[in-house]
A = this chain, B = another copy of it.
Amino acid sequence: MKNTKNMLWGGRFSQTPKANLLSYNSKENIVNDYRLIPYDIIGSIAHVKMLRHQNILTKKEAASIIKALEKLLKKYKKGQFSLNPSLEDVHMNIEVEVSKMTPHGKKMHTARSRNDQVILDMRLYMRDELISIALMILNLCTSLDLLKKINLPFISYTHTRVAQPITLAFWADSYKRAILRDLERIFNLHSRINQNPLGACAVAGTTWNINREYTAKLLGFQGVQDNAHDVSTNRGELESEFVYILSSIMIKLSRISEEFLFLSEKGIIEIPDAYCTGSSIMPQKKNADFLEIMRARASRTIGNLLSILTILKGLPSGFNSDTQEIKPLLFSSIDMTKESISLMSEVLPQIKINKEEVIYELEKGYACSTELADLLCKKGIPFREAHELTGKIVKECIQKEIYLSSLTSKELELKSGIKISDEELKIATNPDKSADARFDMAHIDLSAYKRAVFRLRKKSQLRI
């Protein structure tokens, strides 16, 4: 069994930790820590440079530590650096590796704690992922823009019933605007994440003459998170906001998924075979499983958010190991969301819309009733009465099994006492035409958003 001599904190202890205790604490964590390696190394380089800059380390000491760290980074990039679970976490693994290469390694932890270190790593990681997801959202918008170029009528539903004719462009635009709100949330969160936590040490800062602005500059942070107790206590808050935003994104994807399952079942849209799978027993089946899985992954992301919030609730102040368990929840949420956005962006422009079925659905759903009521209203009947009258007309049509588009202006005059031209009636009751009249949307140009993402990247640039 390993003993606390390997540990960085053995002095006060008379027993070494038991293997199964370490396994309980760290077995899963060390796997999760793998993706933090580069951030931990970069953070350590910045820390050591600052210690040198402040004359806490000598030139020679700093140089040898940084050299060792850079070597380790290369090893990691080649896939040759694996973490030893008996050393608890990524931080101790790196310090021990560095100390093997240089005796000065023992000085690299001066004026910091694993507490501010892991918070730093997570900030750098989240910052990268925020930008990566921002770029993916732009991609998704580009896919939606491709749909917007297709000139086709489409169906709006309310209460899972046909509502009114819309256009495919209108539908696509609505999801674009919705997802752009999540992009704005990402911008908001970025400004909170991009603050330097390093130097908070355990929970209470340090009497060493450190320079937090200096590490902030090296690491591309916009500012310093001043209060150490705040840094430590609120580990997990930004992660929770991140997963909230991911939930918001996944909910939207789950809704497109639901709608596509529904519309493809009806033959209104078609998902390409390349994105479907079959049944092992029913030969006719062409299932779009990925839409169901995406829907379920929205649920998993929500569950992850919930776990994080439940972890944080009622914790006493200061650093608590409970927050370690937030890592896998964030990581899996990020992975699921990125894969979902990416797949949806790829599939969206390949969806086929069956125009004939769209029109049939609109006719069958009496989608132009509101247009008809509005037409009567414009001719002078109060809206509430026009609504009542049109309701009765629809009821009759259903009984006679005819569509609104077969109504003649004479019949309408008979029922309403109002003179309406054939032309007017046709525009109102023809699903293909009715939509056009309604839309004169402002187009949202993506380029402003692209520039904003670009600025985000620039703001977050390492200067190491």
Contact = CB atoms under 8 A, between A and B. Distances in A.
B113 A204 contact: no
B13 A286 contact: yes
Contacts of A441: 226-227
Chain A interface extent, by class: 35 or more
A192 B202 contact: no
A286 B251 CA distance: 27
Contacts of A110: 377, 383
B307 A325 contact: no
Contacts of A204: 156, 163-166, 170, 435, 438
A18 interface: yes
Contacts of A93: none
A283 B12 contact: yes
B303 A329 contact: yes
Interface string A80-94: 000000001001100
Most buried by B among A165, A282, A293: A282
A202 B275 contact: no
Contacts of A379: none
A156 B281 CA distance: 14
Contact of A285 (B158, B166, B250): B158
Contact of A346 (B20, B184, B366): B20
B17 A277 contact: yes
Contacts of A255: 233, 312-317
B192 A370 contact: no
Contacts of A296: 311, 321-326
Interface string A3-17: 010011111111111
A314 B257 contact: yes
B12 A391 contact: yes
A140 interface: no
A265 interface: yes
A208 interface: yes
B309 A385 contact: no
Given A254-B313, A259-B316, A296-B322, A374 B207 contact: yes
Contacts of A208: 374, 378
Nearest to A391: B11
A234 B171 CA distance: 13
Contacts of A202: 156, 158, 163-164, 279, 281-282, 370
Interface stretch (A40-48, A239-247, A455-463): A239-247
Contacts of A346: 20
A462 to B, nearest CB: 24
A110 B326 CA distance: 45
A276 interface: yes
B278 A230 contact: no
A281 B161 contact: no
Most buried by B among A15, A109, A391: A391
Nearest to A229: B174
A318 interface: yes
A94 to B, nearest CB: 12
B370 A281 contact: yes
Given A202-B370, A203-B164, A276 B377 contact: no
Most buried by B among A11, A265, A290, A394: A11
Interface stretch (A69-77, A130-138, A266-274, A406-414): A266-274
Nearest to A238: B181
A280 interface: yes
A284 B154 CA distance: 18
Given A16-B274, A255-B233, A293-B321, A286 B161 contact: yes
Contacts of A295: 311, 313-314, 322
21 contacts: A10-B278, A11-B283, A12-B392, A25-B289, A109-B281, A109-B384, A113-B280, A114-B280, A156-B203, A158-B318, A159-B319, A160-B320, A177-B226, A184-B188, A226-B444, A262-B316, A278-B391, A293-B322, A293-B324, A296-B322, A299-B310
Given A21-B274, A21-B277, A285-B369, 7 more contacts: A9-B283, A24-B290, A25-B293, A170-B227, A207-B434, A257-B314, A280-B387
Q: Return the 9 tightest CB-CB contacts between A and B, nearest first.
A: A11-B391, A9-B278, A303-B307, A284-B366, A15-B273, A283-B390, A174-B229, A296-B325, A12-B391
